[in-house]
Amino acid sequence: MSRHRIALAMASGVASALLLAACGSSNDNSANTGAAAPASSAPSGSGTPAATGGMGMVSTNMLMAKKMSGMGSVVTDAKGWTLYRYEKDQASPSMSMCTDDCAKTWMPVMADSNVQAMGLQAKVGTVTRSDGMKQVTLAGWPLYRYMGDTKAGEMNGQGKSGMWYAVTPAGKKTAMASGSGSTGSASGASSSMSGMPGM
């Protein structure tokens, strides 16, 4: 008799344990589901300003005119990186249309205190972007650096999509016969790739 009671007690205990485990896993799943929604929604909300803001931005305190082989003079930052303008932007009033993913490839040039000019004919200024940052302008056109330029003096962004052009010291777009994705060299160096279309 006592063995029978012991067996019943054990069976009851096992059944209770299984029932509790099933309830526990059910609660865990609902907790995970509830936690997943805020976790996935938080980055998307905070990701937009990050993409528009700090991720692709560069800053400078100097704009300079540099002679490029086969292309005349273009504007560079203090370190010699070619600067570009975007045809979808507005010069008057100044407005940048390059945000989010665009700003990761075409990095807005931010003003590092007062931006000095060397050898330029157009007025240097700034425009306030949608994220509140101050972007450098030349003749009202917001300026950018291209992620595809791997070193100072390159012009791989020239003519990209028929919308992006190296900017001249007068604030105009640099004209090139071939257009897209060409590489230039700073004065004193030769460029075998000048005029070749980009890959």
Higher-confidence residue of 48 and 154: namely 154
pLDDT score, position 5: 55
Q: Does the pLDDT at position 164 exceed 60? A: yes
pLDDT score, position 198: 30
pTM over 0.85: no
Higher-confidence residue of 47 and 90: namely 90
All residues at 6 or more sequence positions from 136 whose CB lies less than 8 Å from its CB, including other chains: 60, 63, 109, 110, 111, 115, 124, 125, 126, 142, 143
pLDDT score, position 10: 56
pLDDT digits (tens, 9 = 90+) for 66-101: 998 888 999 999 999 999 999 999 999 999 999 999
Q: Which two tokens stand for residue 61?
A: 């305190």
Amino acid, res. 88: K
pLDDT score, position 12: 56
SS3 188: coil
- ∠ CA 148-189-180, rounded to 5°: 35
Distance between CA 180 and CA 199 in Å, rounded? 9
pLDDT score, position 107: 96
pLDDT score, position 68: 87
Q: How many C-beta atoms lie closer than 10 Å to residue 84's C-beta?
A: 29
The answer to whether the beta carbons of residues 56 and 50 sit under 8 Å apart is no
Q: Is 153 left (phi over 0), alpha (psi -120 to 50) or beta?
A: left
The answer to whether the beta carbons of residues 134 and 111 sit under 8 Å apart is yes
**Mean pLDDT across the chain:** 73
Distance of CA 77 to the CA centre of its chain: 18
Q: Does the pLDDT at position 139 exceed 90? A: yes
Cα distance from N-terminal residue to C-terminal residue, the chain:
88
All residues at 6 or more sequence positions from 62 whose CB lies less than 8 Å from its CB, including other chains: 77, 78, 115, 116, 117, 118
Amino acid, res. 107: M
pLDDT digits (tens, 9 = 90+) for 5-41: 555 555 555 445 444 444 444 443 333 333 333 332 2
